[in-house]
Structure 1
Amino acid sequence: MISSSNKQADTLPLDGVMSGLMRRYSERVPDVQNVIDAMINEGIIGRADDIENDHIAFRTMGVPNLGLASFEKIFLHYGYEKRDEYNFIEKKLTANWFSPPSPQYPRIFVSELRVHELSAEAQQIIHRYTDMVTSDPVDALDLDDAPTVDQFLHQPLWNTPTLADYQTLLKESEYAAWVIYNRYYLNHFTISVHNLKEGYNTIDEFVAFLERRGFKLNSAGGTIKISPDGNLRQASTVAQMIDAEFAGGDVFRIAGSYVEFAERRVLPEFQNIPANQIGRQHRREGFETGNADKIFESTFTTQTGR
């Protein structure tokens, strides 16, 4: 399922939070509906809810009162469990993934910029905004109130940056520039390709379908990113550009969010299990630093500008 929106009743706060995230993300990223419409038109799925959401991703700033230490409290409250940590040396990022309380929910991938590793100028710009947050905002939330949490994830935590500050950050860290403007906005959701019908249930077949349909895909490190064990294969669209209004009224087109696609292959020890009995527990779990490193670049100018 990609969303529990439009249902009569969301049974848990997590359902309401996921509904809000996917609704706002879909409204802001036309490729979400475009991909779904193409899949329906091709006969791959009958409706959007036929899609399994492999994972969703968020970006954060590693500064006091924010970052992973703050953000993770939301989903740990809903029963998610913190898993592996990943280090992206060049991009100066740390990330963790979180496994869901039950299989109908997506995994969550949260990354954090190690702000202290940036130049003094970049640090000064970031802190000019984030220092406005003087206590952990998650501590003030009623996490059982889904509408409040949904609103929090879509509200600004600091002032809108100036275009000059955004462009200065963009030169040093495109990740920093993305977060200073977009804040906690959902970075992407991910279609589980392996659960689609035959002919489309490998990443190679699905990428070929997307390319036939004219979607612009992230080419960093190759269109298909493959883990060393060969069992996690990923691709993504290039982030769609949005007209962003900066402090003072300047308008500039910047990278928004994108859509990812993942194939998790059945692990060798489960190869003899009938296909109709294969579950998440039988497939490659977790993430891969090399793959994720290139997926991050879906919002980078090297991709959006080509």
Structure 2
Amino acid sequence: MHFDENKPIAFVLNDLFEHYRQHVSDVNKITQALLERGVVNSQEEIVNDHIAFRTLGVPNLGIKSFEKIFLSFGYQKKDYFYFEGKKLDAYWYAPPSPEYPRIFVSELRVAELSDEAQQIIYKYVEPISSDPVDSLDLSNGPEVANFLQRPLWDLPSSSEYEKLLAESEYAAWVIYNRYYLNHYTISIHELKDGYNTLEEFNLFLESIGIKLNTSGGKIKTSADGYLRQSSTVSALYDATFADERVLKIAGSYVEFAERSVLPPFQNLNKEDIRSHHRRDGFETNNADKIFESTYTSQIKE
């Protein structure tokens, strides 16, 4: 994923990906193996289906704040999703043109957590008295990119992190990782034959030692059968907390999406198929299981 245009959206997406790639070793491992096998000639040939972010549903933050960035870039807000068990809301955003990835933004329903968990979260976010996105020049790519890498609140203590982890792994992830890119997604159907179905691609991944998320099965399939998704399991990395204690915590991961051609377009020649001929959007049940790529139950299996 790399965009050469001199636009704020291109700068921000490139910067997000570079930081993410430096921290998620599976990204380069997968790319290198695809290069060695001649599946792609460069990282730029890999089509990014979507990227995802996690936020907290509190005043001045959350989806309402975060989405302003991508709406200013021409993204369009699409379907709403609710994840009851995980206490999450989410929306996805369609890109202004097909070369850019979709955006998926989720938000923790903080008010539904225990009093103790809410108190921990509010201890960190209460000093944020206005929407930080409102102070940005959204036409300035470097300024927006810098904002997405900048801590919005203080580093938590390890004990507070562990208390959140016991109740909501999503809450714990966000309180430490903040707006860090949660995952990027390789469009499997865009790859060459032998690698362009999830069955084939997952075999390739496991052959190079990549661990897959098994929640709901290695392949998560939408009710209509036209959207199938898999994902890696986040690696653990050493995180230093405010009390100087170091814990191994979940970082980010890589997702893989296979979008099938919709029935009205299935007679098209392969070279004529474009993104709008394929299944768009997302599926609640699929996404619910993908979230667990950073969950202890998956990492420790």
Separation in 1, partners of 2:235, 2:107:
22
Quick check: 1:270 aligned with 2:265? yes
Question: In the alignment, which of 90, 94, 108 is matched to residue 89 of structure 2?
Answer: 94
Quote the residue 1:241 is aligned against. Answer: 236
Q: Which amino acid aligns with 1:295?
A: I
Quick check: 1:127 aligned with 2:122? yes
SS in 1 for 2:137: coil
Quote the residue 2:248 is aligned against. Answer: 253
TM-aligned CA deviation for residue 213 of structure 1: 1.4
SS in 1 for 2:100: coil
Separation in 1, partners of 2:204, 2:29:
13
TM-aligned CA deviation for residue 18 of structure 1: 0.6
Cα deviation, 1:140-163, whole Å, max 9, x if unaligned, reads 001111111111001100000000
Cα deviation, 1:152-198, whole Å, max 9, x if unaligned, reads 00110000000000000000000000000000000000000000001
Cα deviation, 1:60-91, whole Å, max 9, x if unaligned, reads 00000000000000000000000000000000
TM-aligned CA deviation for residue 227 of structure 1: 0.5
Cα deviation, 1:33-85, whole Å, max 9, x if unaligned, reads 11100111122111101100000000000000000000000000000000000
SS in 2 for 1:75: helix
Flag as ranges the 4+ runs of structure 1 deviating above 6 A: none
Separation in 2, partners of 1:282, 1:99:
15
Quote the residue 1:69 is aligned against. Answer: 64
Separation in 1, partners of 2:148, 2:249:
20
SS in 2 for 1:138: helix
* TM-score between the two structures when normalised by the length of structure 1: 0.97
Cα deviation, 1:69-122, whole Å, max 9, x if unaligned, reads 000000000000000000000000000000000001000000000000111110
Pairs within 5 Å for 1:51-200: 51-200=46-195
Cα deviation, 1:220-278, whole Å, max 9, x if unaligned, reads 11001001111100000001111111002111110000000000000011100111010
Quote the residue 1:15 is aligned against. Answer: 10
Quote the residue 1:3 is aligned against. Answer: 2
Pairs within 5 Å for 1:262-301: 262-301=257-296
Separation in 1, partners of 2:113, 2:7:
40
SS in 1 for 2:181: coil
Question: In the alignment, which of 197, 221, 227 is matched to residue 232 of structure 1?
Answer: 227
Separation in 2, partners of 1:213, 1:267:
32
Quick check: 1:38 aligned with 2:33? yes
* TM-score between the two structures when normalised by the length of structure 2: 0.99
> Structure 2, unaligned stretches of length 5 or more?
none
Question: In the alignment, which of 203, 217, 223 is matched to residue 208 of structure 1?
Answer: 203
SS in 2 for 1:31: helix
> Structure 1, unaligned stretches of length 5 or more?
none
